[in-house]
Amino acid sequence: MTKINKEEIVQSVPQKGFFGQPKGLFTSFFTEFWERFSYYGMRAILLFYMYEEIVNGGLGMDDGIAKSIMAVYGSLVYMSGIIGGWIADRLLGTQRTVFYGGILIMLGHIALALPFGITALFVSMFLIIIGTGLLKPNVSNIVGDMYSAKDIRRDSGFSIFYMGINMGALIAPFIVGTLGQKYNYHLGFGIAAVGMFLGLIVFVATRKKYLGLAGTYVPNPLEDGEKKKVFTRFGIGGILVIIIAAIGIKTGILTINRFTYLVSFLAIIIPTIYFIVMYRSKKITKDERSRLLAYIPLFIAAMAFWAIQEQGSIVLADYANKRTELSFLGLDIQSSWFQSLDPLFIILLAPVFAAMWMKLGIRQPSTTRKFSFGLIFGGLSFVVMVIPALLHSGTDTLASPLWLLLSFFIVVLGELCLSPVGLSATTKLAPAAFSAQTMSLWFLSNASAQGINAQIVKLFKPETEVAYFGIIGGIVMVLGVILFLISPRIQRFMKGVN
């Protein structure tokens, strides 16, 4: 494939037509809107589907295992972004990778829509893990491709895109959740598949006209000789993994529980290797090496934050389902609807935060300080969940839905301090030679968080509730305070990035 230069790409995208942004943003926005609709819609009912009794249409799994699977699944979904980044970079280019990703995701939801029980669950998970790895980091990268380096609309373009993500996540629980819980889980999963189908239609119908050359080129294509070597290695590797897994399952050595340990291990080891490889690379400068050191505490902070935020669809979802009054002001509510609270507050508060940072101008807190606020709010969102059990002296009564509302509100205060800032900090702190992988690096913080969650979430039970929220929330708050105190030192390592 011929090399195309950056300017040529930018010029090929109609530069106006979507809220004053390049027209291609429409394509990325709606593709990602529908993809997130399908993902968060599915996740809003998946835990319940797994542990619900078989007679009620569920799979009748053990509670703890079901929670662990939710975390392992989330972890692998973000880990596979590494594969998606590599395929786009070296084989297919971003646009084609997104397309194939969308197809796999849709097939994954279709698998769950069919009444094939646990087999369908694992097939679906496999397809959605690979599919999301192909789609998510790349659809975000296309956004970056549409702006010239100096374009001041870039950040607001990403904010609009971020709204798209959260709008998809906001409406999904009401549609997929309601149909899934009130009528039939498979119907819910079917609607998630329809969502991804609509996303694919938008993508295919508008990409030629709106995206121009963005994402059509392969930045660092494999040479013909290399191709053969790589394919043989992947082929043999893939077959070996399948054989080992098959033997493991047959002999009973590879249990779900052991698999969760494997994922937790990978979740720690992969970012560690990433950092070591980058740190030792000859392609990075002295300043970049210093910035990389500064990025390590931020990465750990992001991990701690996502560990709490991602438990919204596991532990807090469970709390909504079993420990919360499901009526409010005379209105019946579904437990899946609580999953809309995070994206709802994001949409309501993101403009407030943007205005606040603008107003503060150069007096706004540094990136590291913002991260520390993220942790403090994240931890606090768990600590407040200690109160209902203490108020009612026990966990056998139902708590008011307002507690979850409060918890999600507080976690979003943290999310807005950390999530948008984190992605931009990653792009600024990652060494130039590794810039193509920055999106995967950022998503790895979430993958690692959920890999650790796989071990933690199974400990949540009515008997442990107070200690669970108190200890985890408390630890994360303490981490936040430490980060706040050492932030000036970390900032010094950033060499001019603030």
Kindly list the residues in this chain that would bind ligand ASP in the complex (CB under 6 A): 40, 165-166, 169, 342-343, 346, 415
- Taking the least distance from each CB to ligand ASP, the nearer of 69 and 169 is 169
- Binder of residue 42, out of ligand GLU, ligand ASP, none (CB less than 5 to 8 A by kind): none
- What are the structure tokens assigned to 161, written together? 């895109």
For ligand GLU, the closer of residues 339 and 446 by Cβ is 446
Cα torsion 267, 270, 275, 278 to 10°: value is -150
Nearer to ligand GLU, 58 or 420 (CB): 420
CA distances from 328 to 10, 335, 344, 402 (A): 50, 12, 18, 9
What's the min distance (Å) between Cβ of 342 and ligand GLU?
8
CB of 152 to ligand ASP, least distance (A): 24
With CB under 5 to 8 Å by kind, the binding choice for 468 among ligand ASP, ligand GLU, none is none
Nearer to ligand ASP, 177 or 212 (CB): 177
Q: What is the closest distance, in whole angstroms, from the C-beta atom of residue 469 to ligand ASP in the complex?
A: 19
Going by C-alpha positions, the residue among 382, 407, 369 that lies closest to residue 474 is 382
Residue 45: Cβ within 10 Å count: 29
The continuous run of DSSP H or E covering 331 comes out as strand 331-332
Q: Which does 343 bind (CB under 5 to 8 A by kind): ligand ASP, ligand GLU, none?
A: ligand ASP
Nearer Cβ to ligand GLU, position 368 or 450?
Answer: 450
Residue 309: CB minimum distance to ligand GLU, A:
8
**C-alpha 103: how far from chain center:** 19
Whichever of 443 and 460 has its CB closer to ligand GLU, that residue is: 443
From the list ligand ASP, ligand GLU, none, which binds 443 (C-beta under 5 to 8 Å, kind-based)?
ligand GLU
Of the pair 408, 443, the CB lying nearest ligand GLU is at: 443
Q: Which residues would be at the binding site for ligand GLU (CB under 6 A)?
A: 36, 165, 306, 419, 443, 446
**Which tokens sit at 71?**
């975390």
Pick one of ligand ASP, ligand GLU, none as the site partner of residue 35 (Cβ within 5 to 8 A by kind). Answer: none
| Residue 21 contact among ligand ASP, ligand GLU, none, beta carbon within 5 to 8 Å by kind | none
In the complex, residue closest to ligand ASP by CB = 169
Give the residue nearest to ligand GLU (CB).
446
Q: Which position has the token pair 């395929």?
A: 87
The per-residue b/e assignment along 312-337, b for 16 or more CB within 10 angstroms, e otherwise, is bbbbbbbbbbebbeeeeeeeebbbbb
Angle between helices 154-172 and 117-145 (to 10 degrees): 160
- Least Å distance between CB 165 and ligand GLU? 5
Taking the C-alpha atoms of residue 43 and residue 60, their distance in angstroms, rounded to an integer, is 17
HEC readout, 360-417? HHHHCCCHHHHHHHHHHHHHHHHHHHHHHHHHCCCCCCCECHHHHHHHHHHHHHHHHH
Give, in degrees to the nearest 5, the angle at Cα 23 between 201 and 36.
45
Cβ–Cβ under 8 Å, residues 173 and 49:
no
198: Cα within 13 Å, side-chain hemisphere: 16
Closest separation between CB of residue 414 and ligand ASP, Å?
A: 11
Q: Which is nearer to ligand GLU, 51 or 443 (CB)?
A: 443
| CA gap 64, 76 in Å, rounded | 18
Tokens read off for 151: 């374009």
Q: Which residue do the tokens 């849709």 mark?
A: 106
For ligand GLU, the closer CB: 58 or 144: 144
Nearest approach in angstroms of CB 237 to ligand ASP is 32
Q: Which is nearer to ligand ASP, 347 or 466 (CB)?
A: 347
Of the pair 133, 212, the CB lying nearest ligand GLU is at 133
Cα–Cα distance, 2 to 143 (Å, whole number): 21
Smallest separation (angstroms) from ligand GLU to the CB of 306? 6
Residue 145 contact, options ligand ASP, ligand GLU, none, Cβ 5-8 Å cut-off depending on partner type: none
For ligand ASP, the closer CB: 127 or 171: 171
**Closest distance to ligand ASP from the beta carbon of 492 (Å):** 31
Q: Which does 446 bind (CB under 5 to 8 A by kind): ligand ASP, ligand GLU, none?
A: ligand GLU
9 contact choice in ligand ASP, ligand GLU, none (CB below 5 to 8 Å, kind-dependent): none
Q: Are 14 and 212 in contact (CB under 8 A)?
A: yes
- Short-list 221, 200, 258, 251, CA closest to 87: 221
In the complex, the smallest distance separating the C-beta of residue 122 from ligand GLU, rounded to whole angstroms, is 23
Given a contact cutoff of 8 angstroms between Cβ atoms, the answer to whether 308 and 472 are in contact is: yes
Closest approach of ligand GLU to the CB of residue 78, in Å: 6
Q: Which of ligand ASP, ligand GLU, none does residue 99 bind (CB under 5 to 8 Å by kind)?
A: none
What CA–CA distance (Å, rounded) separates 144 from 299? 22
288 touches, from ligand GLU, ligand ASP, none (C-beta below 5 to 8 Å by class): none
Question: What secondary structure letter does DSSP report for 301?
Answer: H
Q: Out of ligand ASP, ligand GLU, none, which partner does residue 346 contact, by CB within 5 to 8 A per kind?
A: ligand ASP
